[in-house]
Structure 1
Amino acid sequence: MDSRWVCCRLALLVNLIWMGSSMMESRETPEDFVIQAKADCYFTNGTEKVQFVVRFIFNLEEFVHFDSDVGMFVALTELGEPDAEQWNNRPDILAQSRASVDLVCRQNYRLGAPFTVGRKVPPEVTVYPERTPLLQQPNLLLCLVTGFYPGDIKIRWFRNGQEERAGVVSSGLTRNGDWTFQALEMLEMTPNLGDVYCCRVEHPSLRSPISVEWRVQIEYCWRKMLGGIVAFVLGVIFFLAGLLIHLRAWKGSAEAQAGHEVSRALLPSQPY
């Protein structure tokens, strides 16, 4: 299919929708404004699942869109409510918008085929804690998976060889804009000395899963102990310094008192 035909069909569809806009008919608009229409096709596993979305934007704010997964127009702001209601009551507009999943997206898929069909890019996996880990202190372990294609990926957490299902939070797939994806999988955990955590990633580009381990190192234990020892030593130093100052002050006071009593004893008695 010629890409010019795709652009022409999208232009006709947007024009058909927009000509029925209540904004075009009666709504007052400011002297300077910008109206935009943006159409996107989202593909999952080739053309197995396709989503077609047309967004209408007024002064950089999206106010209404058509989503093929919903099958109708959805108002995102008060500004878009009259248009969404009006377009949803137009069978011709709804029919053409729904048909665009096949006539625009699926048939247009082959234009991007050199970048997608049969393309497999393996992921890179990094595991790290959210904060400096301390024993028996709750923390979050992150598994960042980047630069992979297609988006079909499975990420699992293991602790000491046993799969962890509780406390797992996923950010979902994020598109990088270069035909690759990234994903972030997080695990709530409390480090114990000797624990071994593993993030295991399965992807069509891999012959076998990637497993990246993170161990609770003994250095973290020593770091905590060292911090306690330093705090104890500093406390002892401050205590001894305070005690020394107190003893010196007490000794000076005692010597002054003794000197005063000796002076009184050496003074001659005064006759009455």
Structure 2
Amino acid sequence: MRYDCVIYLALLSPALFETVLGHYGFGLALCRVLGSLKSIEIIYSVHYDKTELLRFNSTENKVVAYTEYAMKWADDLNKKPEWLHMEAEKNIRDCKRFGQLFLPMIEETVKPEVVIRSVRQASGQSPAMLICSAYDFYPKPIKLTWMRDDKEVTADVTSTEELADGDWYYQIHSHLEYFPKPGEKISCVVEHASSNRPMIYHWDPSLSESDRNKFITGAAGLVLGVIMAAGGLIYYKIKHKARFPSAGSQDIRCSEPLHTLSGTE
């Protein structure tokens, strides 16, 4: 199983209740362990049917209402900030005890898979664009830096935030716009907890993405053509043998009438 650097722990069983008409509701307490047990956040939420009514976050020490019905409830709770903080601290202590069991998971690191690809060639006043993508890494914090001839590039660089893959890992993408120069070296430098030194990946412009796709398409067409030609040759050989049998297997028949010794038929 893969583990997020933010571990969710249910501190208490949901308080489930159901009405006579079949409606239901529940309260949930979650603990977020942010990288280590020194940084913990408690979240309480109350749900009715499929709607979340309100939520409390210990970092902000505030209750937020999501429906008009829950606004008065939230206002009443926010008038007791000391009580909210005290209740949160109780659950934080419980969270630390539970978190000790998951500490090895929190400290696990997974090295990213890094790919550099070209998405646009330079044309006139339009610059070329490269994307450096890091996939399937853990924990979440990561830094991507572009280098041109061993000098850091800060202009014309845009990056996404760390995006959750949905399977406990993360991905991130950094874009570089540039005008190519002959003989230059472009690199993507990745700094992550899974490595004790920066990981450097060099861009190879000898074969662009579009050229690579054309090469693959051409190679596939060539292989298909060879297969079709071989099939046609085999078919021709089979038909040729069927029409013109070999001499060793011919069934020889006399077309002239048989003659008797006397010369009469």
Q: TM-score range by the shorter chain?
A: 0.5 to 0.7
Checking the alignment, whether the CA contact within 8 Å between 2:156 and 2:178 is kept in structure 1 is no
- How far residue 201 of structure 1 moved from its aligned partner, in angstroms, is 0.9
Match of 2:93 among 103, 108, 125: 103
Matching of residue 181 in structure 1 with residue 183 in structure 2:
no
> Which amino acid letter does the alignment assign opposite residue 10 of structure 1?
L
- How far residue 193 of structure 1 moved from its aligned partner, in angstroms, is 4.8
**Aligned partners of 2:109 and 2:191: how far apart in 1?**
13
Match of 2:63 among 70, 73, 78: 73
- How far residue 205 of structure 1 moved from its aligned partner, in angstroms, is 2.2
Aligned residues: 202
Checking the alignment, whether the CA contact within 8 Å between 1:51 and 1:67 is kept in structure 2 is yes
Checking the alignment, whether the CA contact within 8 Å between 1:155 and 1:201 is kept in structure 2 is yes
> Which amino acid letter does the alignment assign opposite residue 187 of structure 2?
C
Q: Give SS of 2:23's match.
A: coil
Checking the alignment, whether the CA contact within 8 Å between 1:153 and 1:202 is kept in structure 2 is yes
Aligned pairs for 1:226-265 (under 5 A) are none
- How far residue 121 of structure 1 moved from its aligned partner, in angstroms, is 2.1
Residue 5 of structure 2: aligned partner: none
Checking the alignment, whether the CA contact within 8 Å between 1:41 and 1:53 is kept in structure 2 is yes
- How far residue 65 of structure 1 moved from its aligned partner, in angstroms, is 0.9
Residue 10 of structure 1: aligned partner: 12
Unaligned runs of 5+ in 2: 1-8, 213-265
Residue 144 of structure 1: aligned partner: 133
Residue 264 of structure 1: aligned partner: none
Matching of residue 133 in structure 1 with residue 121 in structure 2:
yes
Checking the alignment, whether the CA contact within 8 Å between 2:58 and 2:85 is kept in structure 1 is no
- How far residue 99 of structure 1 moved from its aligned partner, in angstroms, is 0.9
Checking the alignment, whether the CA contact within 8 Å between 2:114 and 2:133 is kept in structure 1 is yes
Q: Give every structure 1 segment of 4 or more consecutive aligned residues whose post-TM-superposition deviation is greater than 4 Å.
A: 29-32, 175-178, 215-223
Residue 44 of structure 1: aligned partner: 34
Match of 2:45 among 55, 58, 64: 55
Residue 189 of structure 2: aligned partner: 200
- How far residue 128 of structure 1 moved from its aligned partner, in angstroms, is 2.6
Moved more, 75-84 or 46-55: 75-84
Residue 147 of structure 2: aligned partner: 158
Moved more, 189-198 or 60-69: 189-198
Residue 124 of structure 1: aligned partner: 113
Match of 1:113 among 83, 103, 108: 103
- How far residue 218 of structure 1 moved from its aligned partner, in angstroms, is 7.3
**Aligned partners of 1:219 and 1:91: how far apart in 2?**
59
Unaligned runs of 5+ in 1: 1-5, 224-272
**Aligned partners of 1:221 and 1:115: how far apart in 2?**
41
Q: Give SS of 2:31's match.
A: strand
**Aligned partners of 2:87 and 2:128: how far apart in 1?**
47
Cα shift readout 1:87-126 (whole Å, capped 9, x = no counterpart): 2224575134421452232222112124234x23222212
Cα shift readout 1:223-254 (whole Å, capped 9, x = no counterpart): 9xxxxxxxxxxxxxxxxxxxxxxxxxxxxxxx
What is the Cα-based RMSD across aligned positions, in Å?
3.8
**Aligned partners of 1:104 and 1:185: how far apart in 2?**
38
> Which amino acid letter does the alignment assign opposite residue 181 of structure 1?
Y
- How far residue 70 of structure 1 moved from its aligned partner, in angstroms, is 0.7
Checking the alignment, whether the CA contact within 8 Å between 1:142 and 1:184 is kept in structure 2 is no
> Which amino acid letter does the alignment assign opposite residue 34 of structure 2?
T
Could you say if the C-alpha distance between residues 150 and 184 of structure 1 is closer, same or farther in structure 2, counting changes exceeding 3 Å? closer
Checking the alignment, whether the CA contact within 8 Å between 2:164 and 2:171 is kept in structure 1 is no
> Which amino acid letter does the alignment assign opposite residue 173 of structure 1?
E
Cα shift readout 1:25-78 (whole Å, capped 9, x = no counterpart): xxxx99453434333322233123222222333333333211111111122343
- How far residue 85 of structure 1 moved from its aligned partner, in angstroms, is 1.0
